[in-house]
Structure 1
Amino acid sequence: MTPYPLTIATSARRRTLAIQVRAGQVIVRRPRGVSDAEVHALLVRKSRWIKAKLQLQAERLATEVEHSFETGDRFDWLGQAQVLTVQRGRESSLQHQPGAIHITLSSRARRDARTLVREQLLQWYADCALQWFTERAPALAARLGKRVSRVQVRVTRSKWGHCTSRAVLQFNPLIMQAPLPVIEYLLVHEVCHLREPNHSPAFWSLVAEHCPDYKASRRWLKEQGHSLFF
């Protein structure tokens, strides 16, 4: 029995034993053949780290912004607050002007307004992110002597970006709320993985070459990234 929610996932594909702390619960991923006793021993060894992670997540949860998704609510765009206005009309639409996001909900829609507004915002951020990263990633990759096969966007709480072995770059569209230097850092980070598919010193040296102030942006994501979710 542990003082926190615990999930143990066993997989024949895994080669190592690992712990993940997410959303207030601890997840242990183990290869087949690893005993419960070995898992317990790992939890004991990592107890201080687990406690610190759980406390940090609890503090972040307490400071998360509760959105109403109604007129007057605020959502960021490139690090700047945008005031939301919501109205009913013939067709659903979203218009963005400097400092303002205007959403019209179809008068024929039967689902609750909060859900509809949230969906429109998520789709807008996704469309903007796909366009922004698609326009920039191939050129940066070419400077590294690499190519991008495809750019995708997907909302996930586990990571802000991902680079696959097939040169597919995936970005979390909610990053478009962050300050521009943070977005540019994420672009550089994932494109550099096309050459260095790890987080070795060579990788970070390559990142620094194309994003000299990357440490500040990386710190911002660690400390403020949770505030971008809604």
Structure 2
Amino acid sequence: MSSLIYLQGYPESVLQQVQQLIDKRQLARVLQQRYPDGHTINSDKALYDFTQDIRQRYLRNAQPLSKVLYDSKIRVMKHALGLHTAISRVQGGKMKAKAEIRVATLFRQAPEPFLRMIVVHELAHLREKDHNKAFYQLCCHMEPNYHQFEFDTRLWLTQQHLEGREG
């Protein structure tokens, strides 16, 4: 099951179901039926606005974001789906902190719920640095379908891999 690299850690029964969809060449069809529409969040400005809307709704008191952008240097297999960085510098005797979110460019073509899941995940890191229970509770607070979207994003990445279109 070398095509299931994005699904490592899932139970064998789930992997077998996914492999059956792949063997029957139905994975793309299933995803297309579940998520028929793309999104129009194609520019860095649109991504910043999209992210800020979610941040304002759920994390008003969190650290402000200085940048949100698509990053073509993020390779999904080597890094992650997105990156959150916090940079602290001393300027004029004061500590200045900046928070940035970068999303793999591949997600310009993804369904909107997958992009939202990545943004929610990276925003949750503004409050919780580790992937612990509190982190995932915050993700689910911002996006109640977080876990389903994460799994379906992994299915979509698997399909992209099979088609040779991964980032």
C-alpha distance in 1 between matches for 2:37 and 2:159 = 13
Tell me how far apart the structure 1 counterparts of residues 67 and 102 of structure 2 sit (CA, whole Å): 8
Distance 1:216 1:193 in 2: 19
Q: CA deviation at 1:176?
A: 2.7
Q: Which entry has the higher C-alpha Rg, 1 or 2?
A: 1
Question: For the Cα contact (< 8 Å) 1:175–1:183, is it kept in 2?
Answer: yes
- Kindly state the Cα deviation for residue 81 of structure 1 after the two structures are TM-superposed: 7.8
What is the TM-score with the length of structure 1 in the denominator?
0.44
Deviations 1:84-136 (A, max 9, x none): xxxxxxxxxxxxxxxxxxxxxxxxxxxxxxxxxxxxxxxxx9x8152332112
Give the TM-score of the pair, scaled to structure 2. Answer: 0.58
Residue deviations 1:48-93 (CA, integer Å, cap 9, x gap): x9xx9xxx9xx7xx88xxxxxxxxxxxx9xx5489xxxxxxxxxxx
Provide structure 1 residue ranges, at least 5 long, that are not aligned to the other structure. 1-20, 25-48, 64-75, 83-124
CA-based RMSD: 3.5
* Equivalent of residue 129 in structure 2, options 197, 205, 210: 197
Residues 133 and 224 from structure 1, CA distance in 2 versus in 1: closer, same or farther, beyond 3 angstroms? Answer: same
Partner of 2:50: 136
* 129 and 174 in structure 1: CA distance in 2 versus 1, 3 angstrom threshold: farther
How much has 1:189 moved relative to structure 2?
Answer: 1.0
* 1:36-75 correspondence runs (5 A): none
Matched, 1:161 2:82: yes
Take 1:141 and 1:81, find their aligned partners in 2: how far apart are those partners?
A: 24
Identity %: 20
CA distance in 2: counterparts of 1:134 and 1:171, whole angstroms: 11
> What count of residue pairs does the alignment treat as equivalent?
122
Partner Cα distance (1:81, 1:218) in 2: 17
What residue in structure 1 maps to residue 94 of structure 2?
none
- SS of aligned partner of 1:164: strand
- Structure 2: gaps (5+ residues): 24-31, 88-98
Deviations, residues 20-67 of structure 1 (Å, cap 9, x unaligned): x9xx9xxxxxxxxxxxxxxxxxxxxxxxx9xx9xxx9xx7xx88xxxx
Matches of residues 79-228 of structure 1 in structure 2 within 5 Å?
Answer: 79-80=35-36, 128-142=42-56, 143-144=58-59, 145-146=61-62, 147-155=64-72, 156-158=75-77, 159-166=80-87, 167-228=99-160
Superposition deviation, residue 227 in structure 1:
2.9
Per-residue deviation, 1:197: 1.4
Higher helix share goes to which structure? 2
